[in-house]
């Protein structure tokens, strides 16, 4: 089952002002990563998965339209599944996405986002120096 594109668009709109946002297809849906940490997922099984952390897990399950996230028969503490009825309004969706962002902020405080690795001139020169010369046989390969 494919994830709900409409919900994904709504989440994109909410995360538009955030830095270091990436989308990855995983966990049966579309996962929104912020600062290399999972924030929330628009699930292919319906609803959303929100990462709230183990400390808030039990408290979040007290809210309406929530259930534990189960993966391969195991309850994943730190994640809650929110049924579509739980985020019909923009305010409700914003509340859930903010909870995912709060988890990310608490767990990445003081940690910078991993920048994309750029190849510097020094790295290129070092790599060429280690590589065997082209067109010549390396020792031990010819008899």
What pLDDT digit, counting tens, does each position of 7-52 carry?
999 999 999 988 899 999 987 799 999 999 999 999 988 899 999 9
Q: Is 19 within the bounds of a domain?
A: yes
Q: Is 90 within the bounds of a domain?
A: yes
Q: Is 92 within the bounds of a domain?
A: yes
Name the DSSP class of 142. Answer: -
CB-CB contact of 55 with 21 (8 Å): no
Q: Is 141 within the bounds of a domain?
A: no
Q: For the purposes of burial, counting CB atoms within 10 Å of the CB of 128, is it exposed (0-12), middle (13-18) or buried (19 or more)?
A: exposed
Q: What average pLDDT is seen over the chain?
A: 83
Q: How far apart are CA 143 and CA 136, in angstroms?
A: 14
CA pseudo-torsion sign 25, 27, 31, 35? negative
Q: Model-level pTM?
A: 0.73
Q: What share of the chain has pLDDT > 90, as a percent?
A: 59
Q: Is 86 within the bounds of a domain?
A: yes
Residue 41, SS3? strand
Q: Is 91 within the bounds of a domain?
A: yes
Domain holding 16: CATH number?
Answer: 3.90.1150.30
Boundaries of domain holding 80: 5-110
Q: What share of the chain is helix, strand, coil (3-state, %, to 5)?
A: 35, 25, 40
Q: Is 138 within the bounds of a domain?
A: no
Q: How far apart are CA 13 and CA 39, in angstroms?
A: 14
Indicate the number of domains in the chain: 1
């Amino acid at each position: 089952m494919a994830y709900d594109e409409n919900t994904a668009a709504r989440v994109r709109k909410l995360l538009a002002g955030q830095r270091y946002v990436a989308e990855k297809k995983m966990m049966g849906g579309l996962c929104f990563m912020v600062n290399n940490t999972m924030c929330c997922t628009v699930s292919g099984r319906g609803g959303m998965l929100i990462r709230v952390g183990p400390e808030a897990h039990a408290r979040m399950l007290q809210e309406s339209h929530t259930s534990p996230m189960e993966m391969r028969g195991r309850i994943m503490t730190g994640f809650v599944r929110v049924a579509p009825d739980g985020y019909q309004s923009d305010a409700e969706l914003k509340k859930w996405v903010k909870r995912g962002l709060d988890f990310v902020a608490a767990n990445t405080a003081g940690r910078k986002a991993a920048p994309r690795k750029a190849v510097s001139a020094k790295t290129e020169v070092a790599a060429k120096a280690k590589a065997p010369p082209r067109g010549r046989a390396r020792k031990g390969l010819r008899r």
